[in-house]
Structure formats: structure tokens, C-alpha cells
Structure 1
């Protein structure tokens, strides 16, 4: 065994039968917030799952080096009460992480309240690989991303209306028209286009009704919270529980539209064009792909930033 002041354990010097027991013992000796770095001659990934199974989610796992000669992993014991951040919280702090979530098909908008481990377990993904890529974004120079989580509710509400609601209203008519046109031309050879066309119409109707409800009632109500006034009838008639239920209804509508877009993505085989795709077919898939990207950010801004801030502020002024 090789131990230094940096608390490093060279696992290759241990008898194979003693490797995991020794690592577990060393981990148990750590105080909260302290870490152990192990050096090994192969990827110790099975240790991650064994630690998780026996100790629970009380540690973080960070690859410092990955072969070909050495694998070095820093294992840190979490501080008691430290809560693992959810997909939505991580994306709210650094939107670059959202690109990693998209890469692995992890829904950070409608299902943003799940932790990385929960989301990966549901999809059968290698959580160590996902976490490693997320950690890599922390090491990359920041590119001055939009600080959505620092904006006031009224400003963020106006941004959502002026950017995302406007995007939907501008692009939805074209998407709907092309979905109908492509179905009529190619539907016989590609019957999935019939369902895609129906789903596009459903997304449009659901989303337009939802946005109108936000603009007429929800967003004006949030602005009264910012101004600390009691002027609107809406605010007077909503208790804290009623307001939280109101928010939950909006989240449920987000989830419904999100599921419809998920169905479209699957039916298009993730926007993969068939060999006989014409220009209109190609344009439709490109517009749908872009529309979904915008919708992901749109829902993320509301579910993971706007709504939690609104509930917190509403509690303060009751």
C-alpha cells in the first residue's frame, strides 16, 4: 500500500482479494468532505456500483486520469445534509450541461427533478460516463452563458414571451403546413407520417392554449409578486397551496407537450431522413428538430428556474 499526505491508495500493490475491502475501509475512515484518490491499472468502474449499492449516494466520483497505464479516481465523502443536485438544477446553473443531457437522452426540462443517478438508472445508462462528461464542462473555460437564474421573475417572464412564445407562434404554422404536405406526398410509403402529422397538430393546439394561459394569468400574477402588491383579483383568491397547485398544472401541461414531442422524435427515428426524402421532407425534420430544442429550453426556464423562484417569492409575501 502506498499512502501519501494527499491520501492516495495504489491499489495495484494490494492482493486482489484485499483491494475492495481495503478501499471500503479507507473510505469509512474519511471525514465528511474528505477524499481518497485511488490509482489502478484498469478502470475501477465496478467499485463505483459496489460503493453505491453498499454505502448509498454518499460520495462523488471523479476520474482524474483514464489509462492507458493508470486510472486515477478521486472519491469524496459527501457532507451530511448535502443534497445531490437534480438535472434541472444543474442545467439552471450551467446550460452547457444541458447539451450532455441531450446527448444521452436525459430530459432536463419536464423531468428535471430527477438526479443524474435516477435518470441514468431508468435508461440503463453508465452513470460514471455521464458524470465524467458533466465534470469536464466545469474544467472548460466559461463562454459567458445567459445567467437566466439571476434574472428577476418579471424580466424572465417577458424574455420567455418575447423569445420562446414568439418562436412558437412564428414557426408553428410552417411546421404544421409541411407536416400535412409531407404526409400527403409520402404517407403511403411512410405511414408514420400520418401519426406525426396528428401529433404536430396536437402539439400546436396544446402549446398555444398553454401559452395564452401563461400570458393572461400566470405571468401577470408573477409580476405582482415582484412588485409586492395585492392589486389583482387573481392574487387575492389564491392561497399558497392553490398557487403551488396552479404551478403544478402548468408543469403537467409541459410534460404532456413534452411527451408528444418525444413521440414525434421516436416516430422520425430521431429525425433520420429516409433515402427518398424530398426537400420538403428534409425541411420538416430540420424544423421539428429545432422546434424541440427551443421547447426544451423554454420548458427548462419555466420548470427549473421561473416556477421555483415564484413559489419561493409567493411564500415570502403571504
Structure 2
């Protein structure tokens, strides 16, 4: 990987653009607890300032991470077809959530019933979880029913009249509004759980529940990022041609 490519994104570039162009940097943002999905439009330097981090050090770490990654074999979603990107989101992220959210919901309900009185924050964590769970399930349903078919039609060269453009813009705007609520609920759940830290007297299921919540939350952030920083901007670009 050339130095010119590494240096192509300055500190003023958005966090979302960093992960869109260099997926390996997601691990750095995860480690630093910088949100690259719902806050993906925020410039890197602003995200650093808000988190008390030195911009030059974070920028250097990101460049080092890209250099160390070398030639990776991940799909370049910035240039893959829109249809393939929709398929990826639907068959990977949607499928995972459909399979795991019922399990997590049941596990959390059991843990809250057992430990809710002695650990009051659990009920708060559960409420925030249910908020983003219901929001993302609703967004997924709309995407599979209406948005993704319309995007596939757009790419296939179907009608691109004013009606389709207006419909796509309206659906994307609605999903983005939904993403804002999801982002807030994710942050609130993480805060209420003290970054998914199980208390010292937690039973194995309590710790397992927090581990599953952390894992699913991580995938949700990857999921939202692919839509906010890659899919939606590329659809808007196609509509402007």
C-alpha cells in the first residue's frame, strides 16, 4: 500500500470515510470508543477533540493500521455494485440480527428478572436495548420490503422518473432518522451497562448476556456504517446523474 494512498485522508476527513475506504480502521475506532456509524459524518479531528484525544496521534495510528494491513481481501464496498452491497447488508447483518435478537431478548429478560432488584441499572439497559432493537427491526423490514428493491431497480436501469427519485429520497431520509434514534439508544445502553461490565457478583448468564450484547452492538454499528457512509451516499450520487 503506497504512502500516497495512506495520506489521502486528512484529519478533516469524516470518521465514516475512514472506515469506508479502509475497513481495517474500524478496530481502531472501536478501541478508542469513537462511533463511526451513527456519528460517521463527524470529522476525525472533531471526534478526537470530543474524546480528549490528540488528533496527530490518532491520525498516525490510523495510517499505521492501514499500512500494516497491506493487501487485504475484503470487498471494496465503495466500488462494488449497489445490488451486491444491498445483498451483503441483508444476507449478513439482517440475517444475524434476526437470528440473535430473540435469543438476546429472552436472555436479558431472564437476567433482569433474577437480578433487576439488586442491580437497578439492568432495567435501564433493557429499556435502551428494546428501543434500538425495535427501531432496527422496523428499519430492516422497510429496507427489505421497499428500499433495497428500489435500489436494485435503479441500478438495473429501471425507471428513474421523479416518482422513484422522490420515493428513494424519502425512504433513505426515514431510515437515517431511525438511525439517529438507534445511535442514541446504543450509547445509552453502553453507558448504563458501564461499557458492558458485568458486576463482580454476576452469575454466568449475566456476564454471557453482556458479552452477547457487546457482540451484537458491534455488528449493528458495522451495519449502520455501511448504509450511512457507503450505500446511501452512493445512491444519492446515482440519482444526481
Calculate the TM-score normalised by the size of structure 1. 0.69
- Report what 1:288 is aligned to: 213
* Match status 1:264 vs 2:189: yes
How many residues align? The count is 234
Q: Describe the SS at the equivalent of 2:73.
A: coil
Q: Which secondary structure does the structure 2 equivalent of 1:149 belong to?
A: coil
Asked if 1:158 is matched to 2:84, the reply is no
TM-aligned CA deviation for residue 189 of structure 1: 1.2
Q: Runs of 4 or more off by more than 3 Å in structure 1?
A: 242-246
Q: Residue 110 of structure 1 contacts residue 299 of structure 1 at CA under 8 Å; is this kept in 2?
A: yes
Pair 1:306 & 2:231 matched:
yes
Query: Can you give the 5+ residue segments of structure 1 that lack an aligned partner in the other structure?
Result: 1-61, 63-75
> Is 1:90–2:18 an aligned residue pair?
yes
Q: Distance in 1 between matches of 2:52 and 2:155?
A: 42
- CA distance in 1: counterparts of 2:94 and 2:239, whole angstroms: 24
CA distance in 2, matches of 1:257, 1:213: 15
Distance in 1, Cα, partners of 2:152 & 2:67:
37
Task: Tell me: higher relative CO, structure 1 or 2? Use CA pairs within 8 A at least 6 residues apart.
Answer: 2
Q: Which of these residues, 122, 127, 142, is aligned with residue 193 of structure 1?
A: 122
RMSD of Structure 2 on Structure 1 (CA): 2.2
Counting strand residues as a fraction of each chain, which structure ranks higher? 1
Contact 1:109 1:300 in 2 (8 A): yes
On the 8 A contact 1:196/1:267 being kept in 2, the answer is yes
**Over residues 194-246 of structure 1, what are the superposed CA-to-partner deviations in whole Å (9 max), with x where a residue is unaligned?**
11122222222111111101111110110111011118xxx652445x64353
Confirm whether residue 174 of structure 1 aligns to residue 103 of structure 2.
yes
Whole-angstrom distance in 2 between the partners of 1:129 and 1:215:
41
CA distance in 2, matches of 1:243, 1:213: 12
Secondary structure of the 1:109 match is coil
Is 2:50 aligned against 1:122? yes
